[in-house]
Structure 1
């Protein structure tokens, strides 16, 4: 008996599908359903978005996106990840309303909030995927450990704790925030 093999879809086909009402990502051409994030995850995402967006707007630096906005990280087969928060400078995405589609541009900064069920090998695989796609820095916030980790290509990870200060001068200018501010 022959087994039917589901055909792979592209990022464009994925983006044109109707909203299923629950989170999904496209991973190497296949749709993967994601569990809805818990309240703490949403709280930390909201706080990170607020802190970054406030600074970016005050200094007219670019766009800050939230709500699992899609980022194409691989082609042939395609992968579209839903970033918790993404920052695009105006050099990568000009001012004004953004198109209602996934684009070839990748953000300079991705913020991912680790959920309790996220395994570190899976988190690090996603970080590597983002960096390989051209993201400059990936910030992983871990509410349980109250820590922040910054990953960049060809750099050792920067590990920060509650009282440490996060800065990203090459991306966000004079942005400075104590790590605890993401979690309080």
Structure 2
């Protein structure tokens, strides 16, 4: 289970201060919610790590074939426009949007919201914080997001200005117009 530290009203970290905090504590996987909560991410077990790697591989393989953007691992923190600093399990950004960033922005925590993300719920994750995280991404400009929940055998699909769609596993997910031609089979 992730550990959440309430920093407000004592301190409010800027994006640059959060970046510096991560640099001096590289052994801690950290996130910062848009509400200023410092989140220490728990490591995942073997099954979840393997599923996460497979998801990243499948998106990367599709991207390698289409050359439409860039894929990022769960170690990448994105400095979201709405104030959060988050790291999804899988992220993808169009090449055009990525190329609009400066070399310095690409080197640090990129100040951009991914176009597409996948969050994979691990056995230690509580569902509600993950759902809130998905809404943070939507509010920051996410075009398509999947919250895969093996415990409840569901996947939640997040799209801008649409209600969350929940499907039961097994299911075939379409990348829609965000990842054209991409299909993910989940069982």
Matched residue count: 174
8 Å contact kept, 1:63–1:87: yes
8 Å contact kept, 2:80–2:111: no
TM-score by length of 1: 0.83
1: distance between equivalents of 2:126 and 2:14? 27
Residue equivalent to 2:66: 59
Residue equivalent to 1:119: 126
Give the deviation of 1:21 after TM superposition. Answer: 0.7
8 Å contact kept, 1:44–1:143: no
2: distance between equivalents of 1:177 and 1:32? 29
TM-score by length of 2: 0.81
**Pair member with larger Rg:** 1
**Mapping for residues 1-184 of structure 1, pairs under 5 Å:** 6-16=10-20, 17-27=23-33, 28-73=35-80, 75=82, 78-94=83-99, 99-180=106-187
Q: Which moves more between the two structures, 49-58 or 100-109?
A: 100-109
8 Å contact kept, 1:9–1:30: no
1: distance between equivalents of 2:17 and 2:180? 37
1: distance between equivalents of 2:181 and 2:84? 33
8 Å contact kept, 2:81–2:112: no
8 Å contact kept, 2:119–2:146: yes
Q: Which moves more between the two structures, 131-140 or 5-14?
A: 5-14
> What per-residue deviation string (whole Å, max 9, x for no partner) do you get for residues 106-158 of structure 1?
11011101122322222211111110011111111112234322111222323
Q: Which moves more between the two structures, 115-124 or 128-137?
A: 115-124
Give the deviation of 1:67 after TM superposition. Answer: 2.4
1: distance between equivalents of 2:88 and 2:40? 15
Q: CA RMSD in A?
A: 2.4
